[in-house]
Amino acid sequence: MSSMESKMQDSTFWWRGGVIYQIYPRSFMDSNGDGIGDLPGITEKLDYVASLNVDGIWLSPFFTSPMLDFGYDISDYRDVDPMFGTLEDFKVLLERAHGLGLKVMIDQVISHTSDQHPWFQESRQDRTNDKADWFVWADPKPDGTPPNNWLSIFGGSAWTFDSRRRQYYLHNFLESQPDVNFHHPAARQAQLDNLRFWLELGVDGFRLDTVNFYFHDLELRDNPPVPAGETKTLGAPDSNPYTWQRHIYDLSRPENLNFLKDLRALMDEFPGTTTVGEIGDDNPLERMAEYTAGGDKLHMAYGFDLLNAPHSAGYIREVIERFQRLAGDAWPCWALSNHDVVRSATRWGADEDPVAYPKVALAMVMSLRGSVCLYQGEELGLPEADVPFERIQDPYGKVLWPEFKGRDGCRTPMPWRHAPQGDFSAVEPWLPVEPRHLPLAVENQQDDPRSVLNATRTMLAFRRVHPALIDGDLTLVDVGEDLLGFIRQTGNGQDGEHLLCLFNLTGDTLSTSLPQSGTPLQGHGFAAALDGDILTLPAYQAAFISLD
Protein backbone atom coordinates (compact mmCIF):
# COMPACT_ATOMS: atom_id res chain seq x y z
CA MET A 1 0.00 0.00 0.00
CA SER A 2 1.37 3.41 -0.94
CA SER A 3 1.82 6.13 1.67
CA MET A 4 -0.93 8.12 -0.05
CA GLU A 5 -3.32 5.15 0.14
CA SER A 6 -2.49 4.71 3.83
CA LYS A 7 -3.15 8.37 4.49
CA MET A 8 -6.48 8.16 2.66
CA GLN A 9 -7.65 5.18 4.72
CA ASP A 10 -6.50 6.58 8.07
CA SER A 11 -7.50 10.17 7.49
CA THR A 12 -10.37 11.80 9.29
CA PHE A 13 -11.49 12.76 5.80
CA TRP A 14 -11.45 9.23 4.32
CA TRP A 15 -14.98 9.80 3.06
CA ARG A 16 -14.02 12.79 0.92
CA GLY A 17 -13.60 11.17 -2.46
CA GLY A 18 -14.16 7.74 -0.93
CA VAL A 19 -15.99 4.90 -2.67
CA ILE A 20 -18.68 3.22 -0.56
CA TYR A 21 -20.09 -0.19 -1.52
CA GLN A 22 -23.78 -0.51 -0.71
CA ILE A 23 -24.95 -3.87 0.62
CA TYR A 24 -28.62 -4.80 0.74
CA PRO A 25 -28.45 -7.41 3.54
CA ARG A 26 -31.51 -9.46 2.55
CA SER A 27 -29.94 -10.21 -0.82
CA PHE A 28 -26.18 -10.37 -0.32
CA MET A 29 -25.46 -13.79 1.22
CA ASP A 30 -27.57 -16.29 3.16
CA SER A 31 -25.44 -18.10 5.73
CA ASN A 32 -28.13 -20.14 7.50
CA GLY A 33 -30.24 -21.51 4.65
CA ASP A 34 -33.50 -19.62 5.24
CA GLY A 35 -33.51 -17.83 1.87
CA ILE A 36 -32.72 -14.42 3.39
CA GLY A 37 -29.31 -12.78 3.51
CA ASP A 38 -27.86 -12.03 6.94
CA LEU A 39 -24.98 -10.39 8.80
CA PRO A 40 -22.78 -13.52 9.02
CA GLY A 41 -23.25 -13.90 5.26
CA ILE A 42 -21.96 -10.37 4.73
CA THR A 43 -18.97 -11.05 6.98
CA GLU A 44 -18.20 -14.17 4.93
CA LYS A 45 -17.97 -12.06 1.75
CA LEU A 46 -16.05 -9.05 3.06
CA ASP A 47 -12.80 -10.26 1.47
CA TYR A 48 -14.55 -10.02 -1.89
CA VAL A 49 -15.73 -6.49 -1.11
CA ALA A 50 -12.22 -5.44 -0.07
CA SER A 51 -10.87 -6.85 -3.34
CA LEU A 52 -12.89 -4.25 -5.25
CA ASN A 53 -10.63 -1.48 -3.91
CA VAL A 54 -13.51 0.38 -2.24
CA ASP A 55 -13.06 2.38 0.97
CA GLY A 56 -16.08 1.27 2.94
CA ILE A 57 -19.49 -0.35 3.01
CA TRP A 58 -23.00 0.94 3.61
CA LEU A 59 -25.45 -1.55 5.07
CA SER A 60 -29.14 -1.05 4.40
CA PRO A 61 -31.30 -1.52 7.55
CA PHE A 62 -30.86 -4.68 9.60
CA PHE A 63 -32.68 -3.44 12.73
CA THR A 64 -35.67 -5.02 14.47
CA SER A 65 -38.70 -4.49 12.23
CA PRO A 66 -42.02 -6.01 11.16
CA MET A 67 -40.51 -5.77 7.65
CA LEU A 68 -43.55 -4.23 5.96
CA ASP A 69 -41.03 -2.00 4.15
CA PHE A 70 -38.16 -4.42 4.52
CA GLY A 71 -36.39 -2.76 7.42
CA TYR A 72 -37.20 0.85 6.68
CA ASP A 73 -39.95 0.50 9.32
CA ILE A 74 -37.98 0.17 12.54
CA SER A 75 -39.44 -1.02 15.83
CA ASP A 76 -36.14 -1.07 17.77
CA TYR A 77 -33.29 1.21 16.70
CA ARG A 78 -30.71 -0.48 18.93
CA ASP A 79 -30.99 -4.15 18.05
CA VAL A 80 -30.64 -6.51 15.10
CA ASP A 81 -33.68 -8.23 13.64
CA PRO A 82 -33.38 -12.00 14.27
CA MET A 83 -33.64 -12.74 10.55
CA PHE A 84 -30.28 -10.98 10.10
CA GLY A 85 -28.58 -12.35 13.23
CA THR A 86 -27.65 -10.73 16.51
CA LEU A 87 -25.92 -7.64 17.81
CA GLU A 88 -22.89 -9.85 18.43
CA ASP A 89 -22.94 -10.82 14.73
CA PHE A 90 -22.80 -7.14 13.86
CA LYS A 91 -19.82 -6.59 16.17
CA VAL A 92 -18.02 -9.48 14.43
CA LEU A 93 -18.81 -7.93 11.05
CA LEU A 94 -17.55 -4.54 12.21
CA GLU A 95 -14.29 -5.99 13.50
CA ARG A 96 -13.68 -8.00 10.31
CA ALA A 97 -14.41 -5.01 8.06
CA HIS A 98 -12.06 -2.79 10.02
CA GLY A 99 -9.41 -5.50 9.84
CA LEU A 100 -9.68 -5.37 6.05
CA GLY A 101 -9.39 -1.59 6.00
CA LEU A 102 -13.08 -1.07 5.25
CA LYS A 103 -15.13 1.63 6.96
CA VAL A 104 -18.67 0.67 7.98
CA MET A 105 -21.64 2.96 7.45
CA ILE A 106 -25.17 1.93 8.41
CA ASP A 107 -28.57 3.16 7.33
CA GLN A 108 -30.45 5.33 9.82
CA VAL A 109 -34.17 5.84 9.28
CA ILE A 110 -35.07 8.46 11.84
CA SER A 111 -37.77 10.43 10.02
CA HIS A 112 -40.33 7.75 10.82
CA THR A 113 -40.70 4.55 12.84
CA SER A 114 -42.77 1.41 12.53
CA ASP A 115 -46.24 1.64 14.03
CA GLN A 116 -45.03 -1.24 16.24
CA HIS A 117 -42.37 0.94 17.84
CA PRO A 118 -43.08 1.48 21.58
CA TRP A 119 -42.97 5.24 21.07
CA PHE A 120 -45.88 5.16 18.64
CA GLN A 121 -47.77 2.52 20.60
CA GLU A 122 -47.77 4.92 23.55
CA SER A 123 -48.40 8.04 21.47
CA ARG A 124 -51.57 6.72 19.88
CA GLN A 125 -53.25 5.82 23.21
CA ASP A 126 -54.47 9.34 23.99
CA ARG A 127 -53.58 13.02 23.69
CA THR A 128 -52.00 13.41 27.13
CA ASN A 129 -49.38 10.65 27.48
CA ASP A 130 -45.62 11.35 27.63
CA LYS A 131 -45.16 10.58 23.93
CA ALA A 132 -48.41 12.19 22.77
CA ASP A 133 -46.60 14.77 20.65
CA TRP A 134 -43.68 12.63 19.48
CA PHE A 135 -45.52 11.99 16.20
CA VAL A 136 -47.39 14.29 13.84
CA TRP A 137 -51.07 14.30 14.85
CA ALA A 138 -53.75 16.63 13.51
CA ASP A 139 -57.49 17.04 13.82
CA PRO A 140 -59.76 16.20 10.87
CA LYS A 141 -61.37 18.93 8.87
CA PRO A 142 -64.99 19.60 9.95
CA ASP A 143 -66.20 17.11 7.33
CA GLY A 144 -63.92 14.39 8.71
CA THR A 145 -61.44 14.42 5.83
CA PRO A 146 -57.64 14.62 6.31
CA PRO A 147 -56.06 17.90 7.48
CA ASN A 148 -54.62 18.76 4.07
CA ASN A 149 -53.75 17.43 0.62
CA TRP A 150 -50.36 15.88 1.42
CA LEU A 151 -49.78 12.53 -0.28
CA SER A 152 -47.85 9.41 0.60
CA ILE A 153 -45.08 8.38 -1.77
CA PHE A 154 -46.54 4.88 -1.60
CA GLY A 155 -49.97 6.03 -2.78
CA GLY A 156 -53.01 7.78 -1.35
CA SER A 157 -53.24 10.31 1.44
CA ALA A 158 -50.30 10.86 3.78
CA TRP A 159 -52.78 10.83 6.66
CA THR A 160 -54.42 7.88 8.46
CA PHE A 161 -57.19 8.25 11.02
CA ASP A 162 -56.76 6.70 14.46
CA SER A 163 -59.96 6.10 16.44
CA ARG A 164 -58.26 6.26 19.85
CA ARG A 165 -57.23 9.89 19.52
CA ARG A 166 -59.85 10.76 16.91
CA GLN A 167 -57.04 12.38 14.96
CA TYR A 168 -55.03 11.72 11.84
CA TYR A 169 -51.33 10.89 11.95
CA LEU A 170 -48.86 11.73 9.19
CA HIS A 171 -46.94 9.12 7.20
CA ASN A 172 -44.96 10.05 4.11
CA PHE A 173 -44.65 6.35 3.26
CA LEU A 174 -46.76 3.36 4.40
CA GLU A 175 -49.50 3.97 6.95
CA SER A 176 -47.47 1.63 9.19
CA GLN A 177 -44.60 4.19 9.10
CA PRO A 178 -45.75 7.17 11.21
CA ASP A 179 -43.63 10.31 10.97
CA VAL A 180 -41.68 11.41 14.04
CA ASN A 181 -42.46 14.99 15.08
CA PHE A 182 -39.06 16.67 14.85
CA HIS A 183 -40.56 19.90 16.17
CA HIS A 184 -40.62 18.15 19.57
CA PRO A 185 -37.25 18.56 21.36
CA ALA A 186 -37.45 15.27 23.26
CA ALA A 187 -38.21 13.29 20.09
CA ARG A 188 -35.28 14.92 18.29
CA GLN A 189 -32.95 14.15 21.16
CA ALA A 190 -34.13 10.55 21.35
CA GLN A 191 -33.15 10.02 17.74
CA LEU A 192 -29.75 11.62 18.30
CA ASP A 193 -29.30 9.26 21.25
CA ASN A 194 -30.05 6.31 18.97
CA LEU A 195 -27.34 7.48 16.59
CA ARG A 196 -24.91 7.86 19.49
CA PHE A 197 -25.51 4.21 20.44
CA TRP A 198 -24.07 3.02 17.11
CA LEU A 199 -21.25 5.55 17.10
CA GLU A 200 -20.14 4.30 20.50
CA LEU A 201 -20.28 0.77 19.11
CA GLY A 202 -17.71 1.82 16.50
CA VAL A 203 -19.52 2.49 13.22
CA ASP A 204 -17.86 4.97 10.88
CA GLY A 205 -20.94 6.82 9.72
CA PHE A 206 -24.53 6.86 8.61
CA ARG A 207 -26.51 6.92 5.42
CA LEU A 208 -29.52 9.01 6.42
CA ASP A 209 -32.75 7.95 4.81
CA THR A 210 -35.02 10.77 3.55
CA VAL A 211 -32.88 13.37 5.30
CA ASN A 212 -35.02 16.29 4.07
CA PHE A 213 -38.26 14.78 5.45
CA TYR A 214 -37.60 15.41 9.13
CA PHE A 215 -39.71 18.56 9.56
CA HIS A 216 -43.16 19.52 8.34
CA ASP A 217 -44.99 22.84 8.09
CA LEU A 218 -46.63 23.55 11.46
CA GLU A 219 -49.52 25.33 9.71
CA LEU A 220 -50.19 22.20 7.62
CA ARG A 221 -50.66 24.24 4.45
CA ASP A 222 -51.67 22.47 1.24
CA ASN A 223 -49.00 21.76 -1.34
CA PRO A 224 -49.60 23.49 -4.69
CA PRO A 225 -49.85 21.47 -7.91
CA VAL A 226 -46.98 21.28 -10.37
CA PRO A 227 -47.88 23.91 -13.00
CA ALA A 228 -48.80 22.55 -16.40
CA GLY A 229 -45.75 22.03 -18.58
CA GLU A 230 -43.23 22.17 -15.73
CA THR A 231 -40.87 19.28 -15.00
CA LYS A 232 -41.57 16.85 -12.20
CA THR A 233 -38.19 16.29 -10.60
CA LEU A 234 -38.77 14.03 -7.60
CA GLY A 235 -37.38 10.49 -7.72
CA ALA A 236 -40.77 8.83 -8.25
CA PRO A 237 -42.54 7.55 -11.39
CA ASP A 238 -44.91 9.88 -13.25
CA SER A 239 -47.70 7.37 -12.67
CA ASN A 240 -47.54 8.26 -8.97
CA PRO A 241 -49.78 11.26 -8.08
CA TYR A 242 -47.14 12.21 -5.49
CA THR A 243 -45.17 13.78 -8.33
CA TRP A 244 -48.08 16.03 -9.28
CA GLN A 245 -47.50 18.31 -6.27
CA ARG A 246 -44.77 20.79 -5.50
CA HIS A 247 -43.55 19.57 -2.11
CA ILE A 248 -43.14 22.88 -0.36
CA TYR A 249 -44.77 22.25 3.00
CA ASP A 250 -44.34 18.54 3.74
CA LEU A 251 -40.54 18.35 3.39
CA SER A 252 -37.30 20.35 3.09
CA ARG A 253 -38.45 22.82 5.70
CA PRO A 254 -35.96 25.48 6.90
CA GLU A 255 -36.00 24.14 10.48
CA ASN A 256 -34.12 21.10 9.22
CA LEU A 257 -30.88 23.05 8.91
CA ASN A 258 -30.58 23.58 12.66
CA PHE A 259 -31.19 19.89 13.33
CA LEU A 260 -28.50 18.95 10.82
CA LYS A 261 -26.12 21.20 12.75
CA ASP A 262 -27.00 19.35 15.95
CA LEU A 263 -26.38 16.09 14.14
CA ARG A 264 -23.00 17.32 12.88
CA ALA A 265 -22.03 18.34 16.41
CA LEU A 266 -22.70 14.76 17.49
CA MET A 267 -20.64 13.34 14.62
CA ASP A 268 -17.77 15.69 15.46
CA GLU A 269 -17.50 14.00 18.85
CA PHE A 270 -16.36 10.90 16.91
CA PRO A 271 -13.53 12.00 14.57
CA GLY A 272 -13.39 10.14 11.27
CA THR A 273 -17.13 9.46 11.12
CA THR A 274 -19.30 10.76 8.33
CA THR A 275 -22.85 11.18 7.03
CA VAL A 276 -24.42 10.91 3.60
CA GLY A 277 -28.01 12.08 3.26
CA GLU A 278 -30.60 10.87 0.76
CA ILE A 279 -32.47 13.81 -0.76
CA GLY A 280 -35.76 13.46 -2.60
CA ASP A 281 -36.79 17.00 -3.47
CA ASP A 282 -38.18 19.17 -6.26
CA ASN A 283 -34.76 20.87 -6.38
CA PRO A 284 -32.32 18.12 -5.34
CA LEU A 285 -29.03 19.73 -6.36
CA GLU A 286 -29.97 22.95 -4.57
CA ARG A 287 -30.84 20.99 -1.45
CA MET A 288 -27.65 18.91 -1.70
CA ALA A 289 -25.60 22.09 -1.79
CA GLU A 290 -27.54 23.65 1.08
CA TYR A 291 -27.26 20.60 3.32
CA THR A 292 -23.50 19.98 2.83
CA ALA A 293 -22.09 23.52 2.59
CA GLY A 294 -20.26 25.23 5.43
CA GLY A 295 -18.79 22.17 7.14
CA ASP A 296 -21.42 22.26 9.90
CA LYS A 297 -24.22 20.04 8.56
CA LEU A 298 -24.03 16.83 6.49
CA HIS A 299 -20.67 15.68 5.16
CA MET A 300 -22.21 14.43 1.90
CA ALA A 301 -25.57 14.09 0.20
CA TYR A 302 -27.03 12.54 -2.93
CA GLY A 303 -30.10 13.17 -5.02
CA PHE A 304 -31.67 11.35 -7.94
CA ASP A 305 -30.15 13.32 -10.82
CA LEU A 306 -28.01 10.38 -11.93
CA LEU A 307 -30.55 7.82 -10.70
CA ASN A 308 -33.12 8.59 -13.39
CA ALA A 309 -33.51 7.86 -17.09
CA PRO A 310 -31.46 10.45 -19.04
CA HIS A 311 -27.84 9.48 -19.60
CA SER A 312 -26.44 11.42 -22.54
CA ALA A 313 -23.19 13.33 -22.25
CA GLY A 314 -25.20 16.54 -22.56
CA TYR A 315 -27.47 15.62 -19.65
CA ILE A 316 -24.58 14.66 -17.37
CA ARG A 317 -22.80 17.89 -18.32
CA GLU A 318 -25.91 19.87 -17.38
CA VAL A 319 -26.12 18.13 -13.97
CA ILE A 320 -22.47 18.95 -13.27
CA GLU A 321 -22.89 22.57 -14.40
CA ARG A 322 -25.98 23.06 -12.24
CA PHE A 323 -24.37 21.58 -9.15
CA GLN A 324 -21.21 23.65 -9.60
CA ARG A 325 -23.23 26.85 -9.86
CA LEU A 326 -24.78 26.06 -6.49
CA ALA A 327 -22.11 24.10 -4.69
CA GLY A 328 -19.57 26.42 -3.10
CA ASP A 329 -17.81 24.09 -0.67
CA ALA A 330 -20.63 21.52 -0.72
CA TRP A 331 -19.67 17.87 -1.27
CA PRO A 332 -21.81 15.46 -3.30
CA CYS A 333 -21.98 11.68 -3.29
CA TRP A 334 -22.76 10.30 -6.74
CA ALA A 335 -24.44 7.00 -7.57
CA LEU A 336 -25.82 5.35 -10.70
CA SER A 337 -27.77 2.63 -8.88
CA ASN A 338 -29.15 1.76 -5.47
CA HIS A 339 -31.90 -0.31 -3.84
CA ASP A 340 -34.65 2.14 -4.86
CA VAL A 341 -34.18 2.48 -8.64
CA VAL A 342 -33.90 0.34 -11.76
CA ARG A 343 -30.32 -0.88 -12.16
CA SER A 344 -28.22 1.42 -14.32
CA ALA A 345 -27.23 -1.37 -16.74
CA THR A 346 -30.91 -1.40 -17.74
CA ARG A 347 -32.03 2.15 -16.92
CA TRP A 348 -29.17 3.75 -18.86
CA GLY A 349 -27.69 0.85 -20.80
CA ALA A 350 -30.65 -1.14 -22.12
CA ASP A 351 -29.83 -0.22 -25.72
CA GLU A 352 -26.06 -0.27 -25.28
CA ASP A 353 -23.37 -2.97 -25.21
CA PRO A 354 -24.12 -4.97 -22.00
CA VAL A 355 -20.43 -5.39 -21.08
CA ALA A 356 -18.69 -2.30 -22.46
CA TYR A 357 -21.30 0.25 -21.41
CA PRO A 358 -21.35 -0.50 -17.65
CA LYS A 359 -17.55 -0.21 -17.60
CA VAL A 360 -17.42 3.30 -19.07
CA ALA A 361 -20.46 4.48 -17.08
CA LEU A 362 -18.80 3.42 -13.82
CA ALA A 363 -15.49 5.01 -14.87
CA MET A 364 -17.37 8.25 -15.51
CA VAL A 365 -19.07 8.39 -12.10
CA MET A 366 -15.83 7.38 -10.36
CA SER A 367 -14.13 10.39 -11.96
CA LEU A 368 -16.59 13.07 -10.87
CA ARG A 369 -15.77 15.48 -8.07
CA GLY A 370 -17.33 13.94 -5.00
CA SER A 371 -17.67 10.59 -3.30
CA VAL A 372 -19.25 7.52 -4.91
CA CYS A 373 -21.71 4.84 -3.85
CA LEU A 374 -21.41 1.54 -5.73
CA TYR A 375 -24.45 -0.74 -5.36
CA GLN A 376 -23.97 -4.49 -4.93
CA GLY A 377 -23.98 -6.24 -8.32
CA GLU A 378 -23.27 -3.03 -10.17
CA GLU A 379 -19.64 -4.14 -10.41
CA LEU A 380 -20.92 -7.20 -12.31
CA GLY A 381 -22.98 -5.19 -14.79
CA LEU A 382 -26.20 -6.83 -13.59
CA PRO A 383 -29.33 -5.79 -15.49
CA GLU A 384 -32.66 -5.19 -13.75
CA ALA A 385 -34.29 -8.49 -12.79
CA ASP A 386 -37.75 -9.36 -14.09
CA VAL A 387 -39.80 -10.32 -11.04
CA PRO A 388 -43.22 -11.80 -11.88
CA PHE A 389 -46.24 -10.23 -10.20
CA GLU A 390 -46.87 -13.25 -7.99
CA ARG A 391 -43.36 -12.90 -6.50
CA ILE A 392 -43.49 -9.12 -5.96
CA GLN A 393 -42.68 -8.23 -2.34
CA ASP A 394 -42.34 -4.45 -2.47
CA PRO A 395 -45.48 -2.67 -1.20
CA TYR A 396 -44.68 0.23 -3.53
CA GLY A 397 -44.88 -2.09 -6.53
CA LYS A 398 -48.11 -3.73 -5.40
CA VAL A 399 -49.88 -0.36 -5.20
CA LEU A 400 -48.75 1.03 -8.57
CA TRP A 401 -48.62 -2.18 -10.66
CA PRO A 402 -48.47 -2.56 -13.66
CA GLU A 403 -47.24 0.93 -14.62
CA PHE A 404 -44.60 0.72 -11.90
CA LYS A 405 -43.33 -2.67 -10.79
CA GLY A 406 -41.70 -1.49 -7.59
CA ARG A 407 -38.13 -1.91 -6.46
CA ASP A 408 -37.79 -5.69 -6.32
CA GLY A 409 -36.02 -5.86 -9.67
CA CYS A 410 -32.91 -4.22 -8.21
CA ARG A 411 -33.08 -6.18 -4.94
CA THR A 412 -32.83 -9.78 -6.13
CA PRO A 413 -30.07 -12.01 -4.68
CA MET A 414 -26.41 -11.51 -5.52
CA PRO A 415 -25.14 -14.22 -7.92
CA TRP A 416 -21.93 -15.70 -6.54
CA ARG A 417 -21.69 -18.77 -8.79
CA HIS A 418 -23.42 -20.04 -11.92
CA ALA A 419 -25.28 -22.57 -9.80
CA PRO A 420 -28.76 -23.10 -8.33
CA GLN A 421 -29.87 -19.92 -6.54
CA GLY A 422 -26.60 -18.35 -7.66
CA ASP A 423 -25.03 -19.93 -4.55
CA PHE A 424 -26.70 -17.15 -2.57
CA SER A 425 -28.73 -19.69 -0.60
CA ALA A 426 -29.33 -23.42 -0.34
CA VAL A 427 -33.08 -22.85 -0.68
CA GLU A 428 -35.46 -20.76 -2.79
CA PRO A 429 -34.72 -17.16 -1.72
CA TRP A 430 -37.13 -14.42 -0.72
CA LEU A 431 -36.93 -13.00 -4.25
CA PRO A 432 -36.14 -15.16 -7.27
CA VAL A 433 -32.64 -15.24 -8.70
CA GLU A 434 -32.72 -13.68 -12.17
CA PRO A 435 -31.60 -16.35 -14.73
CA ARG A 436 -29.79 -13.66 -16.77
CA HIS A 437 -27.65 -12.92 -13.72
CA LEU A 438 -26.15 -16.42 -13.45
CA PRO A 439 -23.70 -16.09 -16.38
CA LEU A 440 -22.58 -12.80 -14.79
CA ALA A 441 -21.84 -14.41 -11.40
CA VAL A 442 -18.75 -13.40 -9.46
CA GLU A 443 -17.07 -16.78 -10.07
CA ASN A 444 -17.55 -16.44 -13.85
CA GLN A 445 -16.08 -12.95 -13.95
CA GLN A 446 -13.33 -13.43 -11.37
CA ASP A 447 -10.61 -14.61 -13.77
CA ASP A 448 -11.81 -12.88 -16.94
CA PRO A 449 -9.63 -9.80 -17.54
CA ARG A 450 -12.32 -8.34 -19.82
CA SER A 451 -15.14 -8.65 -17.27
CA VAL A 452 -17.04 -5.74 -15.74
CA LEU A 453 -15.88 -6.97 -12.32
CA ASN A 454 -12.19 -6.70 -13.16
CA ALA A 455 -12.71 -3.44 -15.03
CA THR A 456 -14.24 -2.04 -11.82
CA ARG A 457 -11.28 -3.23 -9.75
CA THR A 458 -8.82 -1.77 -12.25
CA MET A 459 -10.55 1.60 -12.40
CA LEU A 460 -10.78 1.86 -8.62
CA ALA A 461 -7.10 0.95 -8.23
CA PHE A 462 -6.23 3.61 -10.83
CA ARG A 463 -8.37 6.15 -8.98
CA ARG A 464 -6.59 5.48 -5.69
CA VAL A 465 -3.21 6.58 -7.00
CA HIS A 466 -4.41 9.81 -8.63
CA PRO A 467 -5.15 12.52 -6.05
CA ALA A 468 -6.88 14.67 -8.68
CA LEU A 469 -9.62 12.00 -9.04
CA ILE A 470 -10.17 11.87 -5.30
CA ASP A 471 -10.22 15.45 -4.11
CA GLY A 472 -9.38 17.64 -7.10
CA ASP A 473 -11.41 20.50 -8.53
CA LEU A 474 -13.46 19.85 -11.66
CA THR A 475 -13.64 22.07 -14.74
CA LEU A 476 -15.81 21.07 -17.69
CA VAL A 477 -14.23 21.31 -21.14
CA ASP A 478 -15.86 21.50 -24.56
CA VAL A 479 -15.06 18.30 -26.44
CA GLY A 480 -18.17 18.17 -28.62
CA GLU A 481 -21.80 17.35 -27.95
CA ASP A 482 -21.46 13.56 -27.74
CA LEU A 483 -18.37 13.32 -25.53
CA LEU A 484 -18.12 14.21 -21.86
CA GLY A 485 -14.91 15.89 -20.80
CA PHE A 486 -13.57 17.61 -17.71
CA ILE A 487 -10.29 18.42 -16.01
CA ARG A 488 -9.62 17.23 -12.45
CA GLN A 489 -6.93 19.31 -10.81
CA THR A 490 -5.07 19.48 -7.51
CA GLY A 491 -2.59 22.23 -6.68
CA ASN A 492 -1.03 24.62 -9.16
CA GLY A 493 1.65 24.20 -11.79
CA GLN A 494 4.35 21.65 -10.95
CA ASP A 495 2.99 20.98 -7.47
CA GLY A 496 -0.34 19.47 -8.50
CA GLU A 497 -1.90 16.92 -10.78
CA HIS A 498 -3.96 17.95 -13.81
CA LEU A 499 -5.95 15.18 -15.51
CA LEU A 500 -8.13 15.53 -18.57
CA CYS A 501 -10.89 12.90 -18.31
CA LEU A 502 -12.86 12.00 -21.45
CA PHE A 503 -15.74 9.57 -21.85
CA ASN A 504 -17.49 8.13 -24.87
CA LEU A 505 -20.82 6.78 -23.60
CA THR A 506 -22.02 5.94 -27.13
CA GLY A 507 -21.62 3.00 -29.46
CA ASP A 508 -19.82 5.12 -32.09
CA THR A 509 -16.17 6.05 -32.49
CA LEU A 510 -15.71 9.74 -31.71
CA SER A 511 -12.81 12.18 -32.05
CA THR A 512 -12.01 15.55 -30.52
CA SER A 513 -9.22 18.11 -30.34
CA LEU A 514 -7.49 18.28 -26.98
CA PRO A 515 -7.78 21.67 -25.25
CA GLN A 516 -4.05 21.42 -24.43
CA SER A 517 -1.26 18.92 -24.93
CA GLY A 518 -0.71 16.04 -22.60
CA THR A 519 0.38 12.45 -22.07
CA PRO A 520 -2.16 9.60 -22.08
CA LEU A 521 -2.08 7.59 -18.85
CA GLN A 522 -2.26 3.80 -18.66
CA GLY A 523 -3.52 1.45 -15.99
CA HIS A 524 -7.23 2.28 -16.13
CA GLY A 525 -8.26 -0.40 -18.61
CA PHE A 526 -9.53 1.79 -21.47
CA ALA A 527 -8.19 2.40 -24.97
CA ALA A 528 -7.84 5.59 -27.00
CA ALA A 529 -5.59 6.84 -29.81
CA LEU A 530 -3.81 10.22 -29.75
CA ASP A 531 -2.50 11.65 -33.03
CA GLY A 532 -1.05 15.09 -32.45
CA ASP A 533 -3.80 16.94 -30.61
CA ILE A 534 -6.60 14.72 -32.01
CA LEU A 535 -7.89 12.07 -29.62
CA THR A 536 -9.98 9.21 -31.02
CA LEU A 537 -12.16 7.32 -28.57
CA PRO A 538 -13.68 4.02 -29.77
CA ALA A 539 -17.19 3.12 -28.61
CA TYR A 540 -17.62 2.96 -24.83
CA GLN A 541 -14.06 4.02 -24.07
CA ALA A 542 -12.44 6.58 -21.79
CA ALA A 543 -9.15 8.44 -21.71
CA PHE A 544 -7.17 10.00 -18.87
CA ILE A 545 -4.51 12.44 -19.99
CA SER A 546 -1.91 14.09 -17.79
CA LEU A 547 -1.77 17.68 -19.00
CA ASP A 548 1.57 19.37 -19.63
Distance CA(13)–CA(6), nearest Å, equals 12
Q: Is 133 a catalytic residue?
A: no
Rounded to the nearest 5 percent, the helix, strand and coil shares of the chain are: 30, 20, 50
- For 49, residues 6+ apart whose C-beta sits below 8 A from its C-beta are 21, 23, 57, 100, 102
Give the number of other Cβ atoms within 10 Å of residue 270's Cβ: 16
Give residues with Cβ within 8 angstroms of 173, minimum separation 6.
69, 72, 112, 152, 153, 154
d(CA 1, CA 9): 10
**N-to-C CA span, the chain:** 28
Q: Is the dihedral of CA 281, 284, 290, 293 positive or negative?
A: positive
For residues 223 and 209, what is the distance between their CA atoms, to the nearest angstrom? Answer: 22
Distance CA 130, CA 315 (A): 51
Is 386 considered catalytic here? no
- For residues 484 and 311, give the distance between their C-alpha atoms in angstroms, rounded to a whole number: 11
> What is the residue-wise DSSP string for 65-125?
---TTTTSS-SEEEEE-TTT--HHHHHHHHHHHHHTT-EEEEEE--SB--TTSHHHHHHTT
Cα separation, 481 vs 483, whole angstroms:
6
Angle at 320 between CA 316 and CA 326, to 5 degrees: 145
Among residues 209, 281, 290, 378, which one is catalytic? 209
Cα–Cα distance, 411 to 161 (Å, whole number): 32
Cβ atoms of residues 459 and 366 within 8 Å: yes
- Among candidate residues 238, 269, 353, 428, the one labeled active-site is 269
Phi and psi (nearest 5°) for 193?
-65, -35
Q: How far is CA 370 from CA 218, 292, 366, in A?
A: 35, 12, 9
CA trace torsion 215, 405, 341, 347 (10° rounding): -140
Rg (CA), the chain: 23
- The residues carrying an active-site annotation are 209, 269
